[in-house]
Structure 1
Amino acid sequence: MKALISIDYTNDFVATNGTLTTGSAGQAIEQAILTVTATFNENNDFVVYAIDRHEQNDPYHPENALFPAHNIAGTNGRKLYGKLADVYEQTREQETVYWIDKRHYSAFSGTDLDVRLRERGITELHLVGVCTDICVLHTAVDAYNLGYQIIIHKNAVASFDPIGHEWALNHFKQTLGVEIVE
């Protein structure tokens, strides 16, 4: 069994005016994310939206020292970007669609994602979204450590750091044994 994990494809990470935007790199992968998502939805595979959720002026979150405030609860910046928002709205009531609010880079950290996957017998994870070298990377490392088979859709991941993006793709393949597909 397989699942799609769609990571942080929100306005703050993708829109031109997003507070931590990948800009044109993130916008360029929209169609690839939509295509992969449609395939998983059509096959009734499990689709997880793993989305950063931060509180305004949280003095305890370590990311506040590293990045500008982003994906703040209740803001437009936290909403899914572009047409993916419509896809989610159309499918969100389906048993095969699941939303996770995440506080850390990895979709596994502090969430029930591993439990949700294991109770469905899922062993294969497909990852799409942003940022390749941050949240996608940390999710992949945790998935590897938990024993999942991982597939990264190369044309459906992006970063605001082109060097970090390329490094992460190489790390996925060389260090985690991840399958990279177009």
Structure 2
Amino acid sequence: LDGRIARLVEEIDADWPNGRALAAQFFLDLDPALVFFLTRNRLHDLWFFTEFFRRPVVRQALPEVGDVRWSEDAAAANPHLARMGPHLGFELTDGWRSLGGLASRLSHGGVYRGGGFPDPQVIQLVDGLAEGAFGGRRSEALSYHSWAAWSDWFDGESEDSSWFWLDRRTGLATVLLITDGP
């Protein structure tokens, strides 16, 4: 994990009384078919996120996440899971918007804390993530965001969020998960 991203996780863990964050990075084989589906946001055609978070290497890097909740059987019994779908609520967004959303989240702070990080610190943390995740090339990153609590690690709060960035040039995938609840 790039040290700038690790610092972001440490800052959230230290500063938000009930907040927790996890991050990991992985190199993906950029098969042209995968890139096509990712750039066209055809995730309902491809169980990318469900399968990604179930991979042994991902489970080993993020053991706290535990099991991914979505399955066809669980979705048949739970309307919330059915709406979330196998894409775990992830939606394609552009690199600038995803970083703006993260900056807003950091500026807002945790659910049980007013304020958040001061503007200069937010800028430093978000710029550090952008450099560590995709070399700062915001327009070249495939960026996805989800508000869904798709594993038991999340607390089911309105502030649970997941980000996934893929550097199209290098194949580096970066995952950032934040939950904020009791």
Decide: shared fold, TM above 0.5.
no
Q: Which structure has the highest helix share of the two?
A: 2
Larger Rg: 2
Q: Report the TM-score, using the length of structure 2 for normalisation.
A: 0.30
